[in-house]
Amino acid sequence: MRFGNGQFSVSLLLLWSVLIVGCASTPDYPDKAELRFLTADSQAPLSQYASKLQHLYQGQSGVQLLGDPLDAMVARLLLISQAESSIDLQYYIYRGDDTGALIALALMEAADRGVRVRILLDDLATTSKDKGLVALAKHPNIQVRSFNPNPSRHFNNLGMLFNFPRLNYRMHNKSLTADNQFSIVGGRNIGNEYFAADETLEFGDLDLWLTGPVVTKVSASFDDYWNAPHVQPISALSDIHVSEEQLAAFARDIKKARRDMASHPYLSRLINSRMLAILTESHLENDAPGEFYQWYWGVAELWSDPPLKQAMSVENHWVVAELWQAIQAVESELLIISPYFVPTASGTELLTGLSRRGVKVIVVTNSLAATDVLAVHAGYQNYRQQLLEAGVTLYEIKPDLLESDKSLTGSSKSSLHAKTVIFDRQKLFVGSFNFDPRSALLNTEMGVMVEQPQLAGRLSKEIEQRLPTQAYELNLEQGTLIWLDRGSGRSLDSEPGAGWWQRLLVELLSWLPIESQL
């Protein structure tokens, strides 16, 4: 059957959409149980290891860098495998790929041995995964909740369209905590591209592995989100019913996945990883020395946005406010690493002001060829000239910086994803916060500020050594933007490695009034 009037059919379709989404936009969720974090007893493996590490550093937190993607996965699997009381995960993206399956299998094994597992995911990227999440939450020791859920589970795009002002606010936080003894906080989501398991893309990223007092702050922040009014159990959101037959099939799939994973080539890479070898040798009994596995001790402070951030005005304890204050206090050098860098007029004024008073300001972000979000690059390019004219140093990461490792990763493209700020080589901040309007005002974010000159200095030195070969340095020659490739000595006068269509699209996007959404 066809309608003779196209305008009428479109109007009817819109009306139907409004009715469906409107009915779903004010769901009556049942009351949910309020839960708080658990701490393992003193005899649990992670408790004993944490105690041995901390006995000489009472009141301080231990921090270890997880820059290598295989190390980052090994650390997560280690914590999950050793947990005895609780595991709390909070992520913006959790993909159902090889790495997602590997972590899910480890979580289920932990739940089978009696560990309480709480999984908190942003709803935007998980609405289509309701069936699997509902089945997972059927385990008596696993709970799954969703942040700011879309009320329309079967018409996701329509739900986003008609609830955009509310659903535009997302949870970008990323953390994993085991037994309230160790946490991992940083820039990585769960997905192949974050852990060197993707053949087409690898994200260069950074996490902090934490122990000590800061871990309890991470646990408390997780509780704030877990118990927030706009966070709901997956069972209350979805009308999907998982039958006993489907659960049995799910269990068979899990057993098969365990068998398949045992021979997976990625697992062999993890087994042969540098970190696992060092951890095996030390048996988690000592503070193992060495450049690649070392705990640094100092004052570590968690900065975390409130879960109801979108309902408030900017507060002093927001991540953006804390960072702003710390940046203003810099005396000699500021290094910002942000894959999505849109400083806005006020941020540009802050950075150029620092530069003009003698502070060395360095910004590292993605080149056009390396970015995965063209609109963000469009917002960034509007500020390049002004920053350069004020003396700010800009570096843009090459898309093939991991070319020498392609035989190992198989990745054909790399992209910066780490979010880090280093202050005067004395302090560093690592977390989920991008230097852009979305992180500042639209998403909830978290990160850890560490006062540790040895660690901050080491990371600054490593970045300083890598930039000449892994990034283009931007410069101005008679007012024209130039990309300098220090490694080859070449000088380029257009976006390196980008096609004409990318440059055209970014130029068009730069004219649109969308900066507040970037």
Residue 272 token pair: 């042969």
Rounded Cα gap, residues 218 and 215, in angstroms: 5
**DSSP symbols for 286-318:** S---SSSS--EEEEEEEEE--TTGGGS---TTS
Let me know: does 350 contact 329? Beta carbons within 8 Å: no
> Which of the residues 172, 217, 230, 413 is marked catalytic?
172
The 10 Å Cβ neighbour count of residue 248 is 10
- The helix/strand count (H/E) of the chain reads as 20, 22
> Which of the residues 68, 123, 424, 436 is marked catalytic?
424
Is 172 an active-site residue? Answer: yes
Is 419 an active-site residue? Answer: yes
**DSSP symbols for 447-486:** EEEEE-HHHHHHHHHHHHHHHHHHEEEEEEETTEEEEEET
> Which of the residues 174, 217, 230, 309 is marked catalytic?
174
Is 174 an active-site residue? Answer: yes
Rounded Cα gap, residues 304 and 174, in angstroms: 11
| Kind and range of the H or E run holding 217 | helix 213-226
Residues 6+ apart with CB under 8 A from 478: none
Terminal-residue alpha carbon distance, the chain? 43
Is 52 an active-site residue? Answer: no
Is 377 an active-site residue? Answer: no
Residue with the two structure tokens 């913006």: 92
Q: What SS3 class is residue 365?
A: strand
Gyration radius from the chain CA atoms = 24
Residues 6+ apart with CB under 8 A from 270: 70, 73, 74, 77, 276
Nearest to 411 by CA among 265, 270, 204, 200: 200
Is 398 an active-site residue? Answer: no
The vertex-98 CA angle with 96 and 100, nearest 5°, equals 45
Q: What burial letters (b/e) apply to 282-293, b meaning 16+ CB within 10 Å?
A: eeeeebeeeeeb
Q: What burial letters (b/e) apply to 425-443, b meaning 16+ CB within 10 Å?
A: bbbbbbbbbbbbbbbbebb
Active site members: 172, 174, 179, 417, 419, 424
